[in-house]
Amino acid sequence: EPTKMQVYRGHKGRVEMKVVAKGKSAHAASNHVGDNAIYKVLPVIEGISNLEPELGDDPFLGHGKITVTDMEIDTPSINAVPAQATVYVDRRVTFGETAEGAIQQVAELIPERYRENGDISVEMLYYDEPSYTGFVFPVEKYFPAWALEPRHPLVQAGLEAAQMIGLPTHDAGKWNFSTNGIYWAGKAGIPSIGFGPGEEETAHTVMDSVLLDDVVKATEFYAILPALIAQKATN
């Protein structure tokens, strides 16, 4: 993952959830006999857009984030009142925040009458794609925030490796987005750091690029890192 050729030691976690609003379909010309699911969920969307100041904060990882990222509508046609609206939410959790707490924050945005009658609900998403054999093993889309301590041997080995290949001295930093470290370090507890060419701000965009000289330097970094890890681990 891109780190601007600096050593990174953590990032926020992630919760993916959906808000489902149920209504009643009808012809748009007779909308008075329907119950528009989009209209029902709008107060929740507005609440999410104003929720960020109330989210957790951490001196290193920073403030929690929440974003409505997609919406699916169940409607017979574009000339009908939609019977269901599903809103997808990406929630970035910092230290001190949990999946349960993140979901509860969104649930509290549901108008009471819809919460009581079950017309609007919020739930976590799951990885549930069938394997090549057809076997399905659902896994919740939650990964906790993680960060190694600055004095951790792996972090120190990374910083020394960067110095040895002639890079400027920096404190170990963090990503603003998430990486596979949310599983390795966040869930599995495997010490992890990141180092690579490229910039986070342009990753996964049409401007994504790396300098060839940085690729060579990164190769040098990973060539000497194992020996430094072994050295730090025995000190």
pLDDT tens for residues 114-145?
999 999 999 999 999 999 999 999 999 999 99
Is there a contact between 161 and 218 (Cβ–Cβ < 8 Å)?
no
Tokens of 53: 């100041």
Let me know if 9 is exposed, middle or buried by CB neighbors in 10 A (0-12, 13-18, 19+): buried
Tokens of 148: 């190694």
> In the chain, which segments carry CATH 3.30.70.360?
13-140
**C-alpha torsion sign, points 227, 176, 88, 79:** negative
Q: What is the tens place of the pLDDT at every residue in 112-122? A: 999 999 999 99
Q: What is the tens place of the pLDDT at every residue in 152-179? A: 999 999 999 999 999 999 999 999 999 9
Q: Which residues of 31-40 are buried (b: 16+ CB within 10 A; e: fewer)?
A: eeebbbbbeb
Percent of the chain clearing pLDDT 70 (strictly above): 100
Q: How confident is the model at residue 234 (pLDDT cuts 50, 70, 90)?
A: confident
Is there a contact between 52 and 106 (Cβ–Cβ < 8 Å)?
no
> In the chain, which segments carry CATH 1.10.150.900?
146-234
Average pLDDT over residues 191-220: 95
Average pLDDT over residues 64-88: 98
Specify the DSSP class assigned to residue 6.
Answer: S
Specify the DSSP class assigned to residue 96.
Answer: T
Pick the residue with more confidence: 204 or 188? 188
Of 78, 82, 107, 83, the closest CA to residue 17 belongs to: 107
Segment (H or E) for 228 = helix 212-234
Q: What is the tens place of the pLDDT at every residue in 5-41? A: 999 999 999 999 999 999 999 999 999 999 999 999 9
- pTM comes to 0.89
Range 146-234 classified under CATH 3.40.1160.10 = no
Please state, in angstroms and rounded to a whole number, the distance separating the CA atoms of residues 225 and 218: 10
Pick the CATH number of 13-140 from 3.40.50.1820, 3.40.220.10, 3.30.70.360, 3.40.960.10: 3.30.70.360
Is there a contact between 47 and 122 (Cβ–Cβ < 8 Å)?
no
Strand, coil or helix: 95: coil
